A and B are shown apart, each in its own frame.
Chain A
């Protein structure tokens, strides 16, 4: 394993425009692509991730430099000129590759930081790679580690708790008012796209019924059908006020649609049940004075934007914490790898034997005060050559490139036989 390296190559939404990514995405499913990768000589282990935002490869190889040309060919195919591809592609080795993978798995490299989908996609990709036998001991360990890092980031930081969007902000506010949205009734005034999206979100969170009031009734009917609600005419607005809990207004009207006094009159019949009003129309539909009424909560598009902003700054703080976790885990993984590597094991073995030789030599010399410097040199030479001869076969066993046993297994065996602790590596 002396030269065994982890390599990560890929493109993502930050480096590569979507037109290029489209061409690169693995269209025919993972299997043919993975089999092609497996076929590449000198590539010991491989794994491939392809999502709409990124295409990434993980490889384990002794001579990754020699592979690069072939991999670029694999990634970009014939359609993209070589010189162009180097602008898009990023390549990371060992520690950096591990770090990048952990960042991606923890959703810190995502377009919407903190979204939860990516971990599922990586698991899916890994299942394919492992199923085809593309991954070996190193990548298995690395990817499992990536899953647990992502899990740790999710549980130790608030990164996943806030995603960004206006509809999300509306749901968040609604939850702070109503607790749960179960059984709440939504009224859309105007059938705009944004209102539709917000209503969809609310229904997804448990809202019971969506009513749509629109100037053109046919559009209201179509939208309410899609949302599983019913259409009402604009004249019914006043009578509907008594029953609904959430109103989203987005008409193109130049005047106010709902006035303070109209709502005030209805609050008593509502027995003061809270009313949550969202005004996403410009110019505004809902009387700004509505906020003065007790148990009425009114927000316009700017207010919602400020909730989105709040989420963002909160999330950035959490992201700093999350990167700290990723750094720490990367270091741990590197330490594990070094512990498993051959060179430090050899060094540790030599160190241990040398220490024994020196100690025994001192004891013997202490008992022979009349010994001359020349004789002492000779003794030293003798112990050294005994040590070297004793070590010869175990070292051969370690360095030998036989295919029957993996390097990890050999390192593990020798470490057990010689009782080498992890700390011994540094001592010598």
Chain B
């Protein structure tokens, strides 16, 4: 029974999420307010379905569904969707939803094509630290992904303003100020969650493996990522790094995130590669 519900929920999520992206694209082209409201409501519905999916998956597997590649990517989708919705609740950035929903759809497709098999949980991971450590980290990824999308939008808009070619995107993209604020907000939130993820990870590592830090590839890459964001964070506070530089840093940082998530797992192996 729960297996079927779980299966149906996932199919529904694919349809609803792709549907919301399609409607967002229609809005992007037509620029009609009503269409955007529809798109946002569909995305909200998708977010609710995603939450239910994670709950059913929890019941199925008996642990927080964040250990296989499918589960991790799906959790990422969930974090990104809710990070966006929470951001949208406080701030308005023109057409940000369109770009974000494209990324969400792409990640949903990735989670759909990788194996959805349920693997038994290795004894090492049977701990309450699992949801905390992995949860914090993936929520951080959600916000960092938003900063990445904002960074891309910033670079396009800045290029249009500087080259004085006021093309198709000029009127459809928000102001540089709004994008820079988005960058600041999402990087700060993401950075805090990433830090929490690392701290909980080290404590857990000490408990389970007897050592805080083991320099396994994923840990190494997480530290690299963390330092990239730390530099940006520091520079903004001290000398006011903003605009293009902040956008580029958000993009580099997110590439590092993606490499940590996939590259480190598939190419380099190590303790964290349970998450296949």
Contacts and interface: CB of A to CB of B under 8 A. Distances in A.
Interface of A: 158, 173, 175-180, 268, 270-274, 291, 294-295, 297, 299, 303, 306-307, 310, 314
B240 interface: yes
A308 to B, nearest CB: 10
Contacts of B99: none
Interface of B: 31, 157, 161-162, 164, 166, 170-171, 173-178, 239-245
A158 B33 CA distance: 12
B240 A306 contact: no
Contact of A176 (B175, B241, B242, B244): B175
A425 B239 CA distance: 78
Given A176-B157, A179-B177, A272 B162 contact: no
A297 B162 contact: yes
**Chain B interface, DSSP helix/strand/loop, else mixed:** loop
Contacts of B157: 176
Contacts of A295: 242-244
A273 B241 CA distance: 9
A88 to B, nearest CB: 39
B91 to A, nearest CB: 11
A182 to B, nearest CB: 11
Given A271-B240, A272-B243, A295-B242, A307 B175 contact: no
Contacts of A180: 177
A144 to B, nearest CB: 24
A299 B239 CA distance: 26
26 contacts: A158-B31, A175-B175, A176-B157, A176-B170, A177-B175, A177-B177, A178-B176, A179-B175, A179-B176, A179-B177, A179-B178, A270-B240, A271-B239, A271-B240, A272-B240, A272-B241, A273-B242, A274-B177, A294-B244, A295-B242, A297-B161, A297-B162, A299-B164, A306-B164, A310-B166, A310-B170
B240 A273 contact: yes
Contacts of B244: 294-295
Contacts of B170: 176, 310
Contacts of B174: 179
B166 A274 contact: no
A206 to B, nearest CB: 13
Contacts of A299: 164
A176 B176 contact: yes
Contact of A272 (B175, B178, B242): B242
B245 A294 contact: yes
Nearest to A178: B177
Contacts of A274: 176-177, 243
A261 B61 CA distance: 63
B161 A177 contact: yes
Given A179-B178, A306-B164, 12 more contacts: A158-B31, A176-B157, A177-B176, A270-B240, A272-B240, A272-B243, A274-B243, A291-B162, A294-B243, A294-B245, A303-B164, A310-B166
B166 A306 contact: yes
B29 to A, nearest CB: 13
Contacts of B175: 175-179
Contacts of A303: 164
Nearest to A175: B175
B276 to A, nearest CB: 42
